[in-house]
Chain A
Amino acid sequence: MAASGAGVPMRREVLQLYRSLLRVARQFCDYNIREYSKRRTMDAFRDNKNLRDPSQLSAAFSHGKAQLEVAKRQSLLYSLYPPKVKSIMDF
């Protein structure tokens, strides 16, 4: 069930992936995990912004898609058992 690295992603697809990752990140109930997901996504996309080599581009894109799957699964699981007390930082 691995995401296929077929072909180099287009700019539109990359932006779509970026937005999806941030959207899922916002759904985490836990403050720390939410902030980490947002921050890590932004930093990773920023660091890879100047990639030009096609194999590197498609590898990074597949990695991003795999992470999106992980994030979707986990945010669903965590929301099934939300913590009773919110973090102090959420107030």
Chain B
Amino acid sequence: RAQVAALIGASPKEIVFTSGATESNNISIKGVMHFYKDKKRHVITTQTEHKCVLDSCRHLQQEGFEVTYLPVGSDGLIDLDRLRKEIRPDTGLISVMAVNNEIGVVQPVEAIGQICKEFNVPFHTDAAQALGKIKVDVEKWNVSLMSLSGHKIYGPKGVGALYMRRRPRIRVEPQMNGGGQERGIRSGTVPTPLVVGMGAACELAMKEMEYDEKRIKGLQERLLNGIREKIDGVLVNGSMDRRYVGNLNLSFAYVEGESLLMGLKEVAVSSGSACTSASLEPSYVLRALGVDEDMAHTSIRFGIGRFTTEEEIDRAVELTVKQVEKLREMSPLYEMVKEGIDIKQIQWAQH
């Protein structure tokens, strides 16, 4: 518990162990709103949140609460002035994730924290992707609730944590009732092996954060430059400045994402994220960014981590370039573009 707390700048008494960030998100959103349901009926979140946050909000909407989904700019960041305008006297929670899992963008959490302090609204952030990768400080960010995940920092799967501020104390209605473990917030036997694993992972992450970040940044540049040297029409989705170095979401023009994925069988990439893998629709995150439909369909997410090697990056570049070139060769759209025809002007005939 102390190991997890040390990584985020909190006290061990403020850490509650759960089964994962999904459960922590559920407890935060539904728990807070149910507890304050008499006075607070409004929640503010963003359009690019993780599925579990959006789903919890939808559940709240079905119960009669109101939810505002803030739009994001084309760089993936929310507009702080818009946030200010949306805050109402009955706003019970603002939930914005720190690092996005699909595009890797880092939201301006410190500024959001300041706004929440000003209006005295609890601030919840899903820091599952941020933990151990960027500096997380619950005081500086002024968060009341933070969701953490074990397996995102090379810990075991099936464990996570929820940070709950004690001063000023935030109250939640527990989602798991029972014997009163974890200060009554989350009943159920605490899974000792998983929790020990998460603690060890957090301690390691704290020691290795600087070394990892430097190395991963170099690998990200190597990947991006390697691909850009060989092919054009490559777009990076999300802001290049405010991003986590281990995530690269690229769109390749005139190529379809799923077919590129099938061609890249040896590389562990995804077109979207694990929680949207069942559907063939382009990801809602990219749609929120305002990316064109055709570019949204071609996006691929590369993840770089502590164990990624330079050779793997080079191999990924080689395979990606080969596949993209092959697919473009087969594509009639690409032929038309090379001849100079403007695709947007084409009138597609109905069959």
Contacts and interface: CB of A to CB of B under 8 A. Distances in A.
Contacts of A43: 211
A33 interface: yes
Contacts of B312: 89
Contacts of B315: 88-89
B interface secondary structure, majority: loop
Contact of A33 (B211, B266, B307): B307
B38 interface: no
B311 interface: yes
Contacts of A35: 307, 309
Nearest to B305: A32
Contacts of B309: 32, 35-36, 39, 89
Contacts of B211: 43
Contact of A36 (B266, B306, B311): B306
Interface in B20-49: none
Nearest to B319: A88
A35 B309 CA distance: 7
Interface in A1-54: 32-33, 35-36, 39, 43
Contact of A88 (B266, B306, B307, B308): B266
Nearest to A37: B307
A33 B308 CA distance: 9
A79 B312 CA distance: 23
A73 to B, nearest CB: 14
A32 B311 contact: no
Interface in B303-324: 306-309, 311-312, 315
Contacts of A39: 309
Q: Which of B266, B306, B308, B309 counts the most A-chain CB atoms under 10 A from its CB?
A: B309
B232 to A, nearest CB: 27
Interface in B213-235: none
A43 B214 CA distance: 12
Nearest to B211: A43
A30 to B, nearest CB: 9
A29 B298 CA distance: 35
Contacts of A33: 307
A78 to B, nearest CB: 14
Nearest to B265: A88
Contacts of B308: 32
Nearest to B315: A89
Contacts of A89: 309, 311-312, 315
Interface in B63-81: none
Contacts of B311: 89
Nearest to B311: A89
A41 to B, nearest CB: 13
Interface string B137-161: 0000000000000000000000000
Contacts of A36: 306-307, 309
A88 B312 CA distance: 9
A67 to B, nearest CB: 11
B306 to A, nearest CB: 7
A3 to B, nearest CB: 17
A39 B315 CA distance: 19
Nearest to A38: B309
A35 B315 CA distance: 15
Nearest to B308: A32
A32 B311 CA distance: 11
Nearest to A31: B309
Interface of B: 211, 266, 306-309, 311-312, 315
13 contacts: A32-B307, A32-B308, A32-B309, A35-B307, A35-B309, A36-B307, A36-B309, A39-B309, A43-B211, A88-B315, A89-B309, A89-B311, A89-B315
Given A32-B308, A39-B309, 11 more contacts: A32-B309, A33-B307, A35-B307, A35-B309, A36-B309, A43-B211, A88-B315, A89-B309, A89-B311, A89-B312, A89-B315
| Chain A to chain B: the 3 pairs with minimum beta-carbon distance, closest first | A32-B307, A88-B266, A35-B309
